[in-house]
Amino acid sequence: MQSSLVVTLGLGFVLGLKHATEADHLAAVSTIVSERRSIWDSAIVGSIWGLGHTISLFIAGLFIIVLGVVIPERVANYLELGVALMIIGLGSRVLYLALRGQTKVHVHTHTHGGSPHVHLHFHDSVDGHVVTSTHEGSHSGFSGWRPFLVGTVHGLAGSAALTLLVLTDVMRTGTAVLGLAYLLVFGIGSIGGMLIMSCLIALPFRFGSRPAMLRILTGAASTAFGLFYASKIFIKL
């Protein structure tokens, strides 16, 4: 009995580590990490994401344990669509901010007829210049609650539904305490996994020779992945 318990909880931890490496998670977190200035800050981002992910998954698990309620497939699909739209928004934001600072390609805001107009502005190598802007505010990265929100949404969508199915199976052969313990260990694994992945993602931004270009590529790749992800979900709706 004790060995079976250890195996179950060990499986939960390993699945949590693996869960953090899924493409939609990395696409979202990489956009946030790309704006951080240190590996330590990136590690905090990963930990906050994991905390939000764990809390939302734990709450969903409580509904299964106490009320026997499982998220319907249609609702899960809409939650996945929300994740896809969120990734598109995160990627587009990084792309916009990265292009604003380029001397050859950046974003300009003009006023036409009293209303602002935003568009890409291209220069050649001769007349390229640094962008001057009156825009106020810092774009150094997301504040703490935003990685938490991203993790929370991820915790309710996508492959988290599979985790809840595993939890349901655990509850058939175990107790409520075992189910809660499984969720907790899974959450710890996902926090640790995303902390590690965030640090790895941060390395080229911290030590690479062209971090600005990496931000542009990250924003473009995340936006493209979000569009692809959304198209797959629309087929299921």
Using CA atoms, how far apart are residues 59 and 29, in angstroms rounded to an integer? 22
- Report pLDDT for 89: 95
User: Does residue 80 sit within a domain?
Assistant: yes
- Report pLDDT for 145: 80
* Local mean pLDDT, 10-residue blocks, the chain (237 residues): 76 88 92 89 93 88 74 82 94 90 55 52 48 42 73 76 65 75 89 95 88 92 95 87
User: Does residue 167 sit within a domain?
Assistant: yes
Q: Could you tell me the residue range of the domain that residue 92 belongs to?
A: 2-131+145-236
User: Does residue 139 sit within a domain?
Assistant: no
User: Does residue 140 sit within a domain?
Assistant: no
- Report pLDDT for 60: 80
User: Does residue 190 sit within a domain?
Assistant: yes
User: Does residue 127 sit within a domain?
Assistant: yes
**Per-position DSSP letters for the chain, written without gaps between them:** -HHHHHHHHHHHHHHHHHHTTSHHHHHHHHHHHTT-SSHHHHHHHHHHHHHHHHHHHHHHHHIIIII-----HHHHHHHHHHHHHHHHHHHHHHHHHHHHT-SSEEEEEEEETTEEEEEEEE--TTT---------S--S---THHHHHHHHHHHHSTTHHHHHHHHHHHHHHS-HHHHHHHHHHHHHHHHHHHHHHHHHHHHHHHH-S-HHHHHHHHHHHHHHHHHHHHHHHHHH-
User: Does residue 21 sit within a domain?
Assistant: yes
- Report pLDDT for 11: 84
- Report pLDDT for 222: 95
* Number of folded domains that form the chain: 1
State both tokens at 116: 């602002």
User: Does residue 137 sit within a domain?
Assistant: no
